[in-house]
Amino acid sequence: MSSVGQVLRVVGNGCRTQWKINRVSPLAVVTNAVGPVAYGAAMTAGYGRPSPALIVGALAAGLWSALMIEPAVIVVHERSWGTLQSIAATPTSVAWPLIGRLIGSYLTALFCVPAIIAGMLLIFARSVPAVIAELGRTPPVLLVAVLAVTVIGLFGMSMVLMGVLIRFRYSAGMVNGLFGLIILLGGFFVPLQILPGGLEVAGRSIPAAWALDALRQVASGAALIDLAIGAGLALVWCVLGAFLMGRSGRALQRSPLAYSHG
């Protein structure tokens, strides 16, 4: 069984490998930022002016835009390159290098954050003073915690997605429908309360929805409860994702075709 140190080394190397394979592309940064900014502008037109929750939601949407397809890209690449088989032939679980690559993807996706902030400032220039004032009333710790829960929750969901993709060879196409669905159900731009009942219930399974609700309810004092629920859900997604990926090695052993793509 791998030691903690070895696992961290493998994950770190996976992260470095992802960075070397997929360096930051200015084109990707801009296109991943445009969507969330456009959504934000549309929501602001309906609600008046951007709020801290809307800004954080736009950042989360940008991350999700950059990352949603990465689990599929990583798994398809590893299969196409034959490296999934090479990794499976080592004493290390296939989960750790792939998680490392996923983390690397998150780090490169962070480059779209400045682009989103810049886009928001450009579009909402007249509202910036008011937004800054409202942000000033938001405890910084809460803001950081909301961002952390959102990012960790998305990461956990990415791991679940990756675990499914490893298990089911031809399932990569399912990521196509996930962007819009998670944007809607994650409460990134609109609070879940305005969604129809079934959709609201489904959205409550997404950690970001609770975290962003926490930001919206700073004044009411219910923020900490929502944040705690969001954090718990983020942990659940991460554990589920780690479990699915940890079992992926066994799933691969059932078929020789599992290591290849197409």
Partner 1 sequence: MSHFPLASWQSSTTEVVPVETGGGIRAVKLTRVFNSGWGRNKRVRLALDRVSFTVQPGEAVGLLGPNGAGKTTCVRILTGLLAPTSGTAVVCGVDATREPDRLHVCVGVSFGGDSGLYTRLSGLDNLRYFASMYGAAGREADLLCHRLLDRVGLAERAGERVETYSRGMRQRLHIARALLNDPRVLLLDEPSSGLDPDHARQLRELVSTLSAEGRAILLTTHDMLEAEQVCQRVVILREGRVVRGTGVRELREDAARALGHRVELRTASQPPTGVLAAVPGILRLISEDEDPDTLVLYTREPAAATGYLLDRLGEQVLSVSVAPPSLEDAYLAALG
Where on the chain is the footprint of partner 1 (CB under 8 A)? 2-3, 5-6, 9-10, 13-14, 17, 20-21, 80-83, 85-92, 96-97, 249, 252-256, 259
Q: What angle, rounded to 10 degrees, do the helices at 207-216 and 52-67 form?
A: 160
Q: Which is nearer to partner 1, 92 or 217 (CB)?
A: 92
CB of 77 to partner 1, least distance (A): 9
- Of 9 and 204, nearer to partner 1 (C-beta) is 9
CB of 210 to partner 1, least distance (A): 36
> Least distance in Å: CB of 261 to partner 1?
11
Distance CA(259)–CA(203), nearest Å, equals 34
Which residues, 6+ apart, have CB-to-CB distance to 91 below 8 Å? 2
Nearer to partner 1, 17 or 205 (CB): 17
Q: Least distance to partner 1 from the beta carbon of 238, Å?
A: 22
Minimum CB–partner distance for residue 12 and partner 1 (Å): 8
For residues 79 and 257, give the distance between their C-alpha atoms in angstroms, rounded to a whole number.
Answer: 10
Select 89 or 144, whichever has its Cβ closest to partner 1.
89
Nearer to partner 1, 19 or 179 (CB): 19
Q: Following DSSP, what letter does each residue of 110-169 receive, concatenated? A: TTHHHHHHHHHHHHTGGGHHHHHHHHHHS-HHHHHHHHHHHHHHHHHHHHHHHHHHHHST
DSSP 95: H
Residue 24 DSSP symbol: -
Judged by DSSP in three states, 86 sits in: helix
